[in-house]
């Protein structure tokens, strides 16, 4: 056991104190005094207008703190009448941070509302030594309290949780104690049902003399105990009990923490409990060893930190684990059948969780829950969980507790499930008729209106330019005598208790009524003559009231986009020649200008013609013609198909194209001949023509 204080006295106490203080400075816990095996967090996810429901599962892995551990999350499924962990994880694994924390954010449903969380180790994983006398790593080397080492690739811890409801946040912590509860539940014939999980957690809490609900909490990180602003007895007790399993490596029967955890899992799965007392040559971890190691770790903390604000908690945990050590021998005796804690009545709303439990001592216990005196099928554990209660679950519950000596009947627990008010489905707002734009003269009336449907009371609010109009709260907006200042962009929002819809924008145009002078053309457009490629500019000067608009025409046809007082024809071509005029108009009339003729002098344009052909492979008589026998090609051409007076020679037999430059516009005719190395010419090809 611990020889820490007996052999080393004050020097080792000082060393432990130094390590504790150093660890507390280096490690700032992110969730001091909080947590839970499957505890629901107080925070709730955003309930905004979204179809995505996120469920958050987070927690801490402590045996001591496991950092860079690989955490996987599994759902459960039924196979052969037993609920087991699914083969594949629900999502990709995450790693724990330096404080052992992990987080999963899920957007999928959780089968049966239960999960299995497992942390494993690889070469990156580190575990803090939280045994006050120091630890032994996998290589047999000593590790000081607060220092980290690799726990081995076979190391793992599991935790199970039930009652998971989509859209909420839960804490699921991992420790040797949650690992025992998971092994116990998995070994049951019914497997990982919600009732089985609750029963197994309660069983491990009872086995280790923990308060009910203690395993919902995160075990305290003993190496950073002074960083806690507050700590409960249950959190510290969970921490020293978890640390006690690492102390088992010191006993020499196991070489690594990995072997210790595997041994505990096998015993719990097989026997359901740890042996009560160790004997000489015993190869099993027993309860007296666990409690003694935990008590001595608590004593080490108490003596190393006498002035700590947690000193009273150290003393309380040391006393409780010491009492458990002294009392553990009684576990070998079969106590009398007795109900030591009665189920308690509850009042809940529909869909909330109901958990009833009974505590009993005796031999091999069995349970049968009843409602209103009628046995409930399958309700055969020490706790009864109703995950989502409805009004039919209301009633008087009791439980029959039996062992080989007889049966006891618990007191009645009254369960009242309040019916929730009926859900009234209110149709959302739908706009069936949008407001439409209007144009009126000053002094005339203007009306915008909207037609909408939806459940409940509809509330209207009109806006101008995005700003709410005071008092404009009906389905229509009216102006009895519109003014120019009423011009603008309007919209309306229609709202009921489930949401709102905003209409499309509608414009009110109020035209100012003023005296408008007619159009007068002061300067007419002038005829011009230019060469191709130059720019021709025509312009007009006109006067008149209001806004003047211009429409240029060519040969009486309106020119698209020509709406200014001048018309510029850039890079003019022959096609731009013609008779141009312009219509000048305002709101009271229009004037047509005189015609301005634009002449375009055509320029001769030289172009190039590209020709391509295939290399001939035989002569006219059908004999083969090798490429090496071809000397060149002769291309004849002209504008008269009967007189191809011009020619060009392409001087290589491998050429298949040629370009003839400086060609004026017109239609040309071409033939090609092949000339072999002896100067013999082939027959002419078929004649082709091309117009440029």
Q: Of 405-419, 452-466, 505-519, 547-561, give the lowest mean pLDDT range.
A: 505-519
Tell me which residue of 34, 87, 22 sits closest to 58, measured CA to CA: 34
The pairing of beta strand 506-511 with beta strand 438-441: parallel
H/E stretch holding 25: helix 4-26
Output 270 or 648, whichever has higher pLDDT.
648
Tell me which residue of 508, 456, 449 sits closest to 482, measured CA to CA: 508
Contact 170, 57 (CB under 8 A): yes
Token pair 């033939």: residue:
671
Q: What is the pLDDT of residue 251?
A: 65
pTM above the 0.85 mark?
no
Q: What is the pLDDT of residue 37?
A: 42
Among 254-258, 472-476, 622-626, top mean pLDDT goes to 472-476
Q: Is residue 43 predicted with pLDDT exceeding 60?
A: no
pLDDT-derived band at 269 (thresholds 50, 70, 90) equals confident
Q: What is the pLDDT of residue 333?
A: 58
Q: What is the pLDDT of residue 341?
A: 94
SS3 track for 191-243: ECCHHHHHHHHHHHHHHCCCCCCHHHCCCCCHHHHHHCCCCCHHHHHHHHHHH
Residue 308, sorted as left (phi over 0), alpha (psi -120 to 50) or beta, turns out to be beta
Tell me what percent of the residues of the chain surpass a pLDDT of 90.
60
pLDDT digit string, tens, across residues 473-485:
999 999 999 999 9
pLDDT digit string, tens, across residues 298-335:
898 889 888 889 889 989 988 998 888 888 756 555 67
pLDDT digit string, tens, across residues 178-200:
999 999 999 998 999 999 999 99
Q: What is the pLDDT of residue 440?
A: 94
pLDDT-derived band at 278 (thresholds 50, 70, 90) equals low
**Rounded mean pLDDT of 628-633?**
92
Q: What is the pLDDT of residue 460?
A: 97
Q: How far apart are the first and last CA of the chain?
A: 108
Tell me what percent of the residues of the chain surpass a pLDDT of 70.
90
Q: What is the pLDDT of residue 510?
A: 94
Q: What is the pLDDT of residue 51?
A: 56
Q: Is residue 487 predicted with pLDDT exceeding 90?
A: yes
Strand, coil or helix: 271: helix
pLDDT-derived band at 2 (thresholds 50, 70, 90) equals very low
The pairing of beta strand 488-496 with beta strand 506-511: antiparallel
**Rounded mean pLDDT of 648-654?**
89
pLDDT-derived band at 22 (thresholds 50, 70, 90) equals very low
Q: Is residue 39 predicted with pLDDT exceeding 60?
A: no
Among 334-343, 539-548, 617-626, top mean pLDDT goes to 539-548
H/E stretch holding 267: helix 257-271
Q: What is the pLDDT of residue 25?
A: 34
Domains in the chain: ranges and CATH: 4-330 (no CATH), 341-418 (2.60.40.10), 430-511 (2.60.40.10), 520-601 (2.60.40.10), 607-691 (2.60.40.10)
How many CB atoms neighbour CB 100 within 10 A?
30
CA distance 525 to 640: 46
Q: What is the pLDDT of residue 46?
A: 46
Q: Is residue 42 predicted with pLDDT exceeding 80?
A: no
pLDDT-derived band at 363 (thresholds 50, 70, 90) equals confident
H/E stretch holding 291: helix 287-304
Q: What is the pLDDT of residue 282?
A: 61
The pairing of beta strand 520-523 with beta strand 541-543: antiparallel
What average pLDDT does the chain have?
A: 87
The pairing of beta strand 459-464 with beta strand 536-539: unpaired
pLDDT-derived band at 444 (thresholds 50, 70, 90) equals very high
Contact 100, 126 (CB under 8 A): no
Q: What is the pLDDT of residue 330?
A: 60
DSSP 283: -
pLDDT digit string, tens, across residues 409-443:
999 999 999 998 887 788 999 999 999 999 999 99
Distance, CA of 304 to chain centre: 47
**Rounded mean pLDDT of 23-52?**
41
């Amino acid at each position: 056991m611990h020889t820490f204080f007996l052999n080393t006295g004050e020097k080792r106490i000082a060393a432990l104190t130094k390590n504790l203080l150093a660890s507390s400075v280096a490690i700032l816990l992110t969730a001091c005094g909080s947590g839970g095996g499957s505890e629901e967090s107080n925070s709730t996810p955003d309930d905004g207008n979204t179809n995505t429901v996120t469920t958050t599962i987070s927690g801490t892995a402590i045996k001591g703190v496991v950092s860079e551990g690989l955490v996987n999350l599994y759902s459960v499924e039924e196979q052969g009448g037993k609920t087991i962990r699914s083969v594949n994880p629900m999502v990709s694994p995450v790693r724990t941070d330096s404080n052992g924390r992990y987080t999963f954010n899920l957007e999928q449903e959780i089968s049966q509302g239960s999960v299995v969380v497992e942390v494993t180790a690889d070469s990156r994983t580190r575990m803090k030594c939280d045994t006050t006398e120091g630890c032994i790593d996998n290589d047999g080397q000593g590790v000081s309290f607060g220092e980290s080492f690799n726990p081995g690739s076979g190391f793992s811890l599991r935790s199970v949780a039930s009652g998971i409801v989509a859209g909420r946040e839960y804490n699921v912590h991992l420790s040797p104690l949650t690992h025992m509860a998971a092994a116990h539940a998995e070994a049951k014939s019914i497997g990982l049902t919600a009732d089985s999980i609750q029963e197994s957690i309660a069983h491990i809490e009872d086995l280790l003399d923990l308060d009910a609900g203690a395993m919902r909490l995160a075990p305290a990180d003993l190496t950073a105990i002074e960083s806690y602003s507050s700590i409960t007895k249950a959190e510290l007790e969970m921490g020293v009990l978890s640390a006690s399993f690492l102390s088992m490596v010191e006993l020499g029967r196991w070489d690594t923490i990995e072997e210790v955890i595997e041994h505990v899992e096998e015993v719990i799965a097989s026997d359901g409990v740890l042996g009560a007392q160790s004997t000489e040559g015993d190869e099993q971890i027993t309860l007296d060893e666990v409690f003694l190691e935990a008590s001595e770790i608590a004593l080490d903390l108490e003596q190393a930190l006498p002035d700590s604000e947690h000193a009273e908690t150290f003393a309380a945990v040391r006393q409780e684990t010491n009492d458990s050590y002294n009392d553990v021998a009684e576990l070998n005796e079969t106590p009398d059948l007795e109900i030591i804690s009665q189920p308690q009545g509850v009042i809940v709303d529909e869909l909330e969780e109901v958990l009833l439990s009974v505590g009993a001592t005796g031999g091999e216990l069995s349970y049968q829950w009843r409602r209103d005196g009628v046995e409930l099928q399958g309700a055969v554990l020490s706790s009864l969980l109703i995950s989502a209660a409805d009004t039919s679950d209301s009633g008087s519950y009791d439980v029959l507790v039996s062992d080989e000596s007889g049966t006891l009947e618990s007191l009645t627990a009254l369960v009242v499930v309040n019916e929730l008010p009926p859900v009234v489905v209110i149709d959302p707002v739908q706009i069936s008729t949008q407001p439409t734009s209007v144009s009126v003269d000053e002094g005339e009336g203007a009306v915008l209106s909207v037609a909408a449907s939806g459940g409940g009371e509809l509330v209207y609010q009109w806006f101008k330019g995005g700003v709410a109009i005071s008092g404009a709260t009906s389905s229509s907006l009216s102006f009895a005598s519109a003014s120019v200042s009423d011009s603008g962009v309007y919209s309306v929002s229609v709202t009921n208790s489930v949401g709102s819809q905003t209409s499309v924008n509608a414009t009110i145009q109020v035209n100012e009524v003023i005296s408008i002078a007619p159009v007068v053309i002061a300067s007419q457009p002038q005829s011009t003559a230019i060469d191709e490629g130059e720019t021709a500019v025509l312009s007009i000067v006109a006067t008149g009231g209001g806004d003047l608009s211009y429409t240029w025409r060519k040969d009486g046809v309106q020119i698209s986009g020509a709406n200014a007082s001048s018309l510029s024809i850039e890079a003019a071509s022959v096609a731009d020649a013609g008779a141009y005029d312009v219509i000048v108009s305002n709101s009271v009339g229009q004037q047509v200008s005189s015609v301005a003729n634009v002449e375009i002098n055509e320029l001769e344009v030289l172009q190039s013609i590209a020709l391509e052909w295939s290399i001939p492979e035989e002569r006219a008589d059908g004999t083969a013609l090798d490429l090496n026998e071809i000397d060149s090609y002769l291309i004849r051409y002209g504008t008269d198909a009967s007189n191809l007076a011009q020619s060009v020679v392409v001087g290589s037999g491998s050429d298949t194209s040629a370009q003839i430059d400086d060609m004026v516009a017109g239609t040309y005719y071409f033939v090609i001949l092949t000339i072999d190395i002896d100067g013999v010419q082939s027959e002419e090809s078929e004649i082709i023509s091309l117009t440029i």
